[in-house]
Copies of this chain bind each other. A is one copy, B any other.
């Protein structure tokens, strides 16, 4: 487990399961979004994002790999790392159920204006935080 990385914990809700008895895949994207928001809060960046400012991290692309299933009430731990390259912000996620890695994901974002949806420069506070974030090339085994 990537013990140094930021992590976010959440349990699988009953409404997130499907008729196969497992977590429906579309919900993992919601879990990634929650992990990003938790990371922003931990870094003191909530105030630089909608609804507190006009800036939103719009999602351009995502790629998700399912390794194992999870189901109702499973306790998931989502490790996350992020880096900025020009206007592009990448997040990578490794999700665990206990010791077992069940899912990997990568999302690509750019900061945009909340109303016009046009690219904008990220806030200085955001850039300063990003400069200190650690990045491990091998967090994901699939990408």
| A contacts, CB < 8 Å to B | 11, 13-15, 17-22, 24-27, 29-30, 33-34, 37, 46, 50-51, 56, 58-66, 69, 71-73, 114-115, 117, 142
Q: Are B20 and A18 within 8 A (Cβ)?
A: no
Once the chains are docked, how many angstroms separate the CA of A13 from the CA of B56? 14
Number of copies: 4
Nearest CB of chain B from residue A104's CB, rounded to whole Å: 9
**Chain B residues in 8 Å Cβ range of A20:** 50, 56, 58, 114, 117
Q: Are B73 and A37 within 8 A (Cβ)?
A: yes
Which residue of chain B lies nearest to A64 when distances are taken between CB atoms in the complex? Answer: B62
Nearest CB of chain B from residue A6's CB, rounded to whole Å: 17
**Chain B residues in 8 Å Cβ range of A115:** 21
Q: Per a CB cutoff under 8 Å, which of B18, B34, B58, B71 touches A17?
A: B18
